[in-house]
Amino acid sequence: MSAAQPELPPAFVPADVEGPLYDSWVERGYFAPSGKEDAEPYSIVIPPPNVTGSLHVGHALDHTIQDILIRRRRMQGYDALWLPGMDHAGIATQNVVERELAKEGLSRHDLGRDEFVKRVWQWKAESGGRILGQMKRLGDSVDWDRESFTMDEQRSRAVLTMFKRLYEDGLAYRAERIINWCPRCLTALSDIEVEHSDDEGELVYIRYGEGDSSIVVATTRAETMLGDTGVAVHPEDERYKHLIGTEVELPLTGRRIPVVGDEHVDPEFGTGAVKVTPAHDPNDFEIGRRHDLPSFTVMDEHGVITAHGPFQGLDRFEARPAVVAALRAEGRIDKEVRPYRHAVGHCQRCDTVVEPRVSLQWFVKVAPLAEAASAAVREGRIAIHPPEMAKRYFDWVDNMHDWCISRQLWWGHRIPVWYGPDGETVCVGPDEEPPSGDGWTQDADVLDTWFSSGLWPVTTLGWPDSTEDLARYYPTSVLVTGYDILFFWVARMVMFGLHAMRDQGPEGAVPFKTVVLHGMVRDAHGKKMSKSFGNVVDPLDWIDRYGADATRFTLARGANPGSDVPVSEEWCQGSRNFTTKLWNATRFALLNGASASSPVPPAASLTAADRWILSRLHTVIAEVDAYYEGYEFAKVCETIQAFAWNEFCDWYVELAKTSLNAGGAAADASRAVLGHVLERLFRLLHPVMPFVTERLWLALTGGESIVVSSWPSAESSYLDAAAEAELAAVQRLVTEVRRFRADQGLKDGQRVPARLVGIESTVLVAHEPAIRTLLRLETPADGFAPTASLLVENVTVELDTAGTIDVAAERKRLEKDLAAARKEKAQSEGKLGNAQFLDKAPPPVVEKVRAQLATAETEITRLESQLAGLPTA
């Protein structure tokens, strides 16, 4: 591929190009870091997709942004490393394999733990990780030789090392606490694995006790009252002060429970009194601890009532109406039960309503870790971009609760703790032998998946070993992820990275120097994507139909820092059209002898159009560099596309035709300029659209690969303000005359005799041939009699439109538009001349009226000029 490429075919067909190009990049090792000692390291770790997953539009956005960053740094000469990998996804993967077993009439318990885990590994080898192949289709330039998996040997060793370190530091502990429990997955869940939605429910008011000593509580979960061990009120609430320290009878049970005063009760919410069920509510659990209230578990792990009595054996949702009916029968319902919409937690994996319950679990004491993670951002060792997102981060880490890290699963990193026959507890490191002998058993639980993914930046580089990769590429340069997992994953990586690498000092311990947060992908109307809405985008479908480049460009063009990203298929079609535009412009250039190897002649040998496009190119390169450094990917795309499509393709290519047709030195100069601009444009665009730019660059240069070419630099020697001003005048004239032609009802290709009066006294005179070509203006014959004219850029453009327009109808239309413009001007002048309006109206409103006045005045001038140019008869 070092030789010049064959002539470009008439059309760009992505499917014919993308696969072979990607395979050649991997085969040649382009995605591996250079390893050059004098090159500055630049590293990114990919947010590991689940082994069960496939490429969805959120992945496509996230990966596109990372690939843009790494490809640009690679071209800039950095020692660039992008690390790929996958997450073992404990709950999701176990669910997938259990469903496969169910098809065989088996459960995991039929196999036993060891055989089940073997089956999961088998599934992973055969069916898991298909997303990796999909990443290749998107064009991810990751170093596949460094691919990691959170359950592979190296990552598993690191996880056990970290657990033992936390255990020995007193930060990992086992205790009975209230946790989120999924009755379907039969495991504890962390807060981040619980998704809340507003669900319809009922608010039930229940009277506890009798007469003046009674108290009414409100609840949406009446079944949990079977486990109440107290009623709490605010100690300063005058309604209930006299009841604090007394007892009331708990309906349906005959038990007497105390009334306690607790400052965390909101007197304004509900009745101002809350039932306290320590075993089934996190807030109640804390109240119970503060007041030494007993904890009664009244449901098993399946959400079935275990309390003795008529409700025993009922599912929690069956028990709820049964309890309400029994309370009503005893006259304990104080008010009518009313509908109530409230936030309810659901399991992220299976959507089952989560049940808070007291359980013996392993936890991480997060206070010291969170404090260090907060300081790393506050002190500037980690920058969050956009900066306003830092507040979200602080809101989370500064108020973090201890993290429940144990899961009642078989797939995952098993907790390395052994329990002895006499109550002994031993934590075993990865290089240590577990205790042996009768009565010793290992903890049955596995660690939360986020535990291993929290270590991702250090484990992918070899920790806990002192590897060359760890020394060179840690801290990683940038983390790219959605703002929705700022709390869930980013905070955990900061905590674990600081703790794992604490011997490296404050600067060296952080897992990454910058966090770049993008938004959620939404449809063109800003609506969240949902199967129920029918607006979900499958990026693989877009890649099939429009190509990876168009898909990537569509995602990147909407990626403003921290903001949600709107996309639509229409925009993807537009991006595909952009690739077609580039393809056709390059074919034109090649067919006309454009060369990237020919040096650009001195400015004195160039036309104004040549100097203009060179000046604009190098201005755009500088602008794009600035946008990249600010992670403003949408502006990168907008700037490049505007230059490539509008300035280069629509203007320069047309203007260059005059020089090319003239032949000689002028043609040679334009060929060199065409090659210079296209070659740098392809390099500038390559990180966003890698495939089409590679194919076009190879055809133009015959070089090795654009992947390993250098990033274009802005050269001030090409900047030419005079040429830019001159061509801006050409553009204004052509644009205004085109508008005039359209207003006159002339077709785009219709040729019209015209005279350009006064052009010889302007800088536009050198461009008259090009202007006439662009505007389809013929040189007038003898006897030329103009029927319309307009003044633009000190040039009077006289046209003979006889027989092409209905003059009377055109005059009527223009007079109507002129009257509307004059009315708008009068209204705006009236407002701006009103002192009360100027004093009271907000500044933006006043500025808007001023802008409306200016627009109206411009429109009046234009319309009057057009009317003056119409024939009088």
Cα distance between residue 449 and residue 89, in whole Å: 6
**Would strands 565-567 and 521-523 be described as parallel, antiparallel, or unpaired?**
parallel
Cα distance between residue 415 and residue 403, in whole Å: 15
The contacts of residue 371 (CB under 8 Å, 6+ apart) are: none
Cα distance between residue 62 and residue 47, in whole Å: 9
752 beta partners:
777
Question: Which two three-digit tokens encode residue 210?
Answer: 């009798």
CA dihedral 171, 176, 180, 183 (to 10 degrees): 130
Cα distance between residue 849 and residue 827, in whole Å: 9
Neighbours of 867 (CB within 10 A): 15
Question: Which two three-digit tokens encode residue 221?
Answer: 């979960």
Question: Which two three-digit tokens encode residue 351?
Answer: 């959507």
With contact defined as beta carbons under 8 Å apart, do 124 and 132 qualify? no
Return the SS3 of 196: strand
CA dihedral 686, 689, 695, 697 (to 10 degrees): -30
Closest CA to 217 of 177, 257, 245, 161: 257
Question: Which two three-digit tokens encode residue 476?
Answer: 């990683």
Query: Can you say whether the dihedral through the CA atoms of 774, 779, 783, 789 is positive or negative?
Result: positive
Cα distance between residue 164 and residue 362, in whole Å: 13
Q: What letter does residue 349 receive in the DSSP assignment?
A: T
Cα distance between residue 460 and residue 46, in whole Å: 10
Cα distance between residue 522 and residue 23, in whole Å: 32
Cα distance between residue 445 and residue 856, in whole Å: 73
Q: What letter does residue 220 receive in the DSSP assignment?
A: S
Q: Would the annotation count 531 as a binding residue?
A: yes
**Would strands 79-83 and 41-45 be described as parallel, antiparallel, or unpaired?**
parallel
Closest CA to 652 of 619, 684, 609, 614: 609
With contact defined as beta carbons under 8 Å apart, do 169 and 495 qualify? no
- Give all strands of the β-sheet with 752-757 in edge-to-edge order: 777-778, 752-757, 795-799, 788-792
Cα distance between residue 169 and residue 702, in whole Å: 60
Interhelix angle 664-685/569-591, nearest 10 degrees: 150
Determine whether 445 is exposed, middle or buried from the number of CB atoms within 10 Å of its CB (0-12, 13-18, 19+): buried
In sequence order, what E strands does 96-193 have?
148-149, 172-182, 187-189
Cα distance between residue 563 and residue 520, in whole Å: 8
Cα distance between residue 632 and residue 624, in whole Å: 9
Neighbours of 743 (CB within 10 A): 18
Cα distance between residue 578 and residue 402, in whole Å: 51
Determine whether 494 is exposed, middle or buried from the number of CB atoms within 10 Å of its CB (0-12, 13-18, 19+): buried
Cα distance between residue 796 and residue 295, in whole Å: 92
Cα distance between residue 626 and residue 680, in whole Å: 17
Cα distance between residue 620 and residue 640, in whole Å: 7
Annotated binding residues, written as ranges, equal: 531
Annotated binding residues for ATP, written as ranges, equal: 531
